[in-house]
Amino acid sequence: MIKSKTKIELQLEKKTNPVLVQTVVSAKKNPAWIEVAALLTSPGSQRKGVNLSDIERTEGEVIVVCGKVLSQGEITKKVRVVALRFSENAKKKLKEAGCEMITIMEEIKNNKDAKGVVILK
């Protein structure tokens, strides 16, 4: 079940990271991205890091990670990885595989309808 905008707003008040706050506000304004806003306002302990091996197993052109992309595993396919943050080693491996890395905020601006987006939870 997706959180209501009111619940998202209440949880957003507790957040102190300005990038996270700005990203949630942008996501909340767009119905196609409301699920991402709900995931980002969850407690930090629930926003686990996602390994490259998880991304490799996921089908889709645009893979959204509501947290940090970690470098465990290998990636062989070319996808656009959208995340809040990337570890340095993950950036290096993604670049070597020819993947595009972009922040959630940028993807919301470029892909308002969330076309082709798969959200890793």
Note the pLDDT of residue 121.
Answer: 83
Mean predicted confidence (pLDDT) in 74-99: 96
Q: Tell me the domain boundaries of the chain.
A: 5-120
- The pTM of this model reads 0.91
CATH number of 5-120: 3.100.10.10
Instruction: Output phi, psi for 92, to 5 deg.
Output: -65, -45
Write down the pLDDT at residue 45: 81
Q: Which amino acid is at 41?
A: T
The vertex-22 CA angle with 42 and 103, nearest 5°, equals 85
Name the pLDDT band for 1 (thresholds 50, 70, 90).
low
Q: How does the average pLDDT of the chain come out, rounded?
A: 94
Tens digit of each residue's pLDDT (9 = 90 or more) over 18-65: 999 999 999 999 999 999 999 999 998 887 789 999 999 999 999 999
Run of H or E including 56: helix 52-57
Please give the average per-residue pLDDT across 70-94, as a whole number.
Answer: 96
Query: What are the backbone dihedrals phi and psi of residue 111, each rounded to the nearest 5 degrees, phi first?
Result: -130, 70
